[in-house]
Structure 1
Amino acid sequence: MEYTAPMPDYAMLDDTDAASLAGFDLIIDVRSPGEFAEDHLPGAINLPVLDDDERARVGTIYKQVSTFDARREGAALVTRNIGHHLETALAGLPRKSRLLLYCWRGGMRSRSMSLVLAAVGWKITLLRGGYRTWRREVVAQLEHSEAPLPFILIDGQTGTAKTAILHQLAARGAQVLDLEGLAVHRGSAFGDFSATPQPSQKRFETLIWQELRAMDLSRPVYVEAESNMVGRRQLPSRIWAAMKAAPRIAISAPVAARAAYLVEAYPDLVADTAKLNASLDQLASRHAKTLIAHWRELHAAGEFRQLAAELISAHYDAAYNRARKHREDEPVLTLRSDSLDDGAIDGLADAILAAGIKT
């Protein structure tokens, strides 16, 4: 008996709103791992039909030999890679699963894989326009939209536990946009995480939009006051404009309490002399060599709180004061605390919510 394969059948999706994406059991990004790492749709997994090296090789053949030879080489590679995915990642996938596939612009890579998966019997949908459809939505919402965002800034000098306060607000059910968490950076010369690099700019923007579109924008959204850069990642224009216009709650605490908090909040700098020295190098153009050397000596001697206190007084408070001169508004609320231990941070979060500040 001869087997006749069913004709491949797949639908097209034009929207990347949360409700549309939620209708799929699996979202498959068939682009190369490098493209996927730069950015991808929320919830997508990466099953590349060409890896980074293979994609480069096919591209070289296309430019230097011919379109035909490039397609023949690409087809061989794509076929092998799809077969591998069928035997591994897709091996146990139920027949009734609904799959959304996309590549860069909805071209040959996603269509090649969809033909095979649809022939197997899964219900396949292609994202019209591919990843670029998603990217257009992100850019439209974060760069071009003028719709207001109900931000309330948590402001304060370095070491006033703003990030910890945000986390406690979130734990109490408040809406929080943690820009430093999304950027994987603590927002200062000492703020990077050695073991975890920052996401790409595109990925940072996707993560912001992913958070925002899940929020109820009739309610306040608490955000830590930042500059327009978090490490090496730039805030999208809509976010930055909303932050500049937002009411501010200022947190105030003595230098000693702030220094103690920073030593707890930056354990990697306490433990890693090389990282501390690299961070101090970034301050070398702003302070005397003798002062930088003195700070290195404090770290080597284990005088971490003293080091933090001197950095606060000599560098960070001055930078904070310069930045705030550009704002004409006063904080709508100032909260002072002599301590920044866990109990004090809980109390500050409770006081912020009790104030009931509106945007």
Structure 2
Amino acid sequence: MFVDERYEDMVERDDLIWIDVRSGSEFQEATIPHAVNIPLFNDEERARIGTVYKQVSKAAAMELGLEIASEKLPHIVASVRGACADGKKPVIFCWRGGMRSKTVATVIDLMGISSIRLSGGYRAYRQVVVDQLAQYAGVELPPVIVLHGMTGVGKTNILHKLAKRGEPVLDLEGLAGHRGSVFGGIGLDVANQRTFDSLLLAQLQKLQHSPYIFMEAESRRIGRVTMPEFLFVAKQQGYNIELTAPMDVRVARTLLQYRLHDDQLFADQVLYALQYIEKRFSPDLRQRVFEWHAMGDYPSLVEALLVEYYDPRYQHAMESYDREFTCLDVTDYELATEQICTYAQEHIKRVTAFQ
């Protein structure tokens, strides 16, 4: 028989596979990181059952749920078995540890698959995330090394290269599914706050014993999510590296990062973003960028936006940091990554020696 366990008692285990039996839309909205979606009901079926519950009775809703689920159970059992093919034990959860997770856990148990049911469901897990992130306000993080630089220098690529080397990296844009600017959601799956919080907590737990943490100089707001205050403060008090690159390199890297294979979709999304911020342009810049957009001259458009719009704003943001900046040219990614690692290992060691 399955047992109910709290998330807090399982978080350190690496022998578990999380099985979310909620509907597809619930799963897409937010779930436990790395969970597999094996829904007992789809969105339409869930809505039908809910209507019967409200308009008829709980018993009638349960009967309808049983009727709908009965045809799916062999497929659900096979799906759970497949998800556990590597020997991991399934942890079944729904919204609040109710009938959906109980049904699936009971059926797979009858089929010889031992499982755990998450006590309180996703709702209880979400409260754990909120509570644990709040506790970080009183915890001293490892020293933060903040990568600054004008748009297009390649800060995100540098973070990825550092992560590949095994360096401790907190990629907030990656967690948020957004690059930070009004154009930042182009071609990405933008996360909501609940998903961001879950991914952030998991990453912080991995990095809490690191000698330092690399992160980008993000603003408080990243796409649809907000950085927690404790992390914003740690960033403001971190050690600063300013990454630089020639304008032609910045333009090329910006286009490489944002350009989509679908030219029309890319043009439409760029136009939407331009219309969102055009009121902040000078009349001359407004005219030029829309002309370049109409002609498909994206290099000219990008360079003008960098020089006349983004660079002044980024320069102003950098003035809010008290600690000095170490400047580093990143035209050569590999050389720059090596130099950043050397800076981190030597500078942080030197700083902590005097604390």
| Structure 2: runs of 5 or more not aligned | none
Normalising by structure 2, we get a TM-score of 0.86
Match for 1:56: what amino acid?
Answer: A
Q: 1:275 aligns with which of 269, 272, 278?
A: 269
- Counterparts of 1:161-172 in structure 2, within 5 Å, are 161-172=154-165
Residue number in structure 2 paired with 1:13: 5
Q: 2:335 aligns with which of 318, 342, 347?
A: 347
Task: Summarize deviations over 1:101-147 as a string: whole Å, max 9, x none.
Answer: 11112122111222222122221211111112321222123234221
CA drift of 1:154 comes to 0.4
- Give the Cα separation in 1 of the matches to 2:83 and 2:181: 46
Cα contact 1:30–1:47 (8 A) shared by 2? yes
- Give the Cα separation in 2 of the matches to 1:245 and 1:181: 22
Cα contact 1:269–1:276 (8 A) shared by 2? no
- Counterparts of 1:79-158 in structure 2, within 5 Å, are 79-87=70-78, 90=81, 98-146=89-137, 147-150=139-142, 151-158=144-151
Q: 2:253 aligns with which of 258, 261, 272?
A: 261
Residue number in structure 2 paired with 1:3: none
Residue number in structure 2 paired with 1:293: 287
Residues 263 and 270 of structure 1: CA distance in aligned 2, closer, same or farther (over 3 Å): farther
Residue number in structure 1 paired with 2:239: 247
Residues 127 and 345 of structure 1: CA distance in aligned 2, closer, same or farther (over 3 Å): same
- Give the Cα separation in 1 of the matches to 2:88 and 2:133: 33
- Counterparts of 1:193-342 in structure 2, within 5 Å, are 193-194=186-187, 196-268=188-260, 271=263, 272-301=266-295, 303-325=297-319, 327-335=320-328, 337=329, 340-341=330-331
Residues 234 and 73 of structure 1: CA distance in aligned 2, closer, same or farther (over 3 Å): same
Quick one: percent identity of the two aligned structures?
Answer: 33
Q: Secondary structure of 2:81's partner?
A: coil
Match for 1:52: what amino acid?
Answer: D
CA drift of 1:354 comes to 1.2
RMSD: 2.7
Normalising by structure 1, we get a TM-score of 0.86
- Give the Cα separation in 2 of the matches to 1:134 and 1:288: 48
Q: Secondary structure of 1:251's partner?
A: strand
Cα contact 1:144–1:238 (8 A) shared by 2? no
Residue number in structure 1 paired with 2:63: 72
- Give the Cα separation in 2 of the matches to 1:91 and 1:352: 43
- Give the Cα separation in 1 of the matches to 2:88 and 2:234: 41
Match for 1:205: what amino acid?
Answer: D
